[in-house]
Amino acid sequence: MKISTKGRYALRLLLDLSEHRGDGYVALKDVAQRQNISKKYLEQIVPVLTKSGVLLTNRGYQGGYMLSGTPDKYTVGMILRLTEGSLAPVACLDCDPIGCDRSDNCATLAVWQGLYKVINEYLDSVTLQDILDNQHADGGDYVI
């Protein structure tokens, strides 16, 4: 499994908005500049996050984006599922029940299910707030 730039940039966008949540609505151009990400690329990510209710938007002068909740409410797993889709390490785990004809006799299925469980448990245990707290404890800016 490889996380695409879409997933990584969505996480960086939300971390930036978390860091600047006291500033009200934040312009996408400011996030793009701070994170060194194309504004056009961020514009492709924002609709997914807005539609899902993660982001609030305000148009016009002093418009921009902000988190709809506090950073402790958003897990990395949730964000990556919104932007990446499934986090399954193999295609046969994308369906429930498992859609593979060989699943009843697959010697490796338990390995993939175990890996999938570990991936989900870990990513669902890390919030935006955890990342910010960890970074502030290290005394620097966050880098993903």
Query: Which contacts qualify for 34-43: CB closer than 8 Å, 24 or more apart?
Result: 35/9, 37/9, 37/12, 37/13, 41/5, 41/9, 42/9, 42/13
Q: Which residue has the higher pLDDT, 128 or 105?
A: 128
Domain assignment of residue 29, given as a range:
5-85+127-138
* Domain CATH code at residue 38: 1.10.10.10
Please enumerate in sequence order all residues whose Cβ is within 8 A of that of 23, keeping only pairs 6 or more positions apart, or say none.
none
pTM of the model: 0.88
Q: Is the pLDDT of residue 41 over 70?
A: yes
Q: Is the pLDDT of residue 30 over 90?
A: yes
User: Is 96 within the bounds of a domain?
Assistant: no
User: Is 133 within the bounds of a domain?
Assistant: yes
Q: Which residue has the higher pLDDT, 1 or 81?
A: 81
User: Is 21 within the bounds of a domain?
Assistant: yes
Domains: count for the chain: 1
Angstrom distance (rounded) from CA 50 to CA 52 = 5
User: Is 69 within the bounds of a domain?
Assistant: yes
User: Is 115 within the bounds of a domain?
Assistant: no
Average pLDDT, the chain: 91
The answer to whether the beta carbons of residues 39 and 32 sit under 8 Å apart is: yes
Q: Report the pLDDT value the prediction gives residue 140, as an integer from 0 to 100.
A: 58
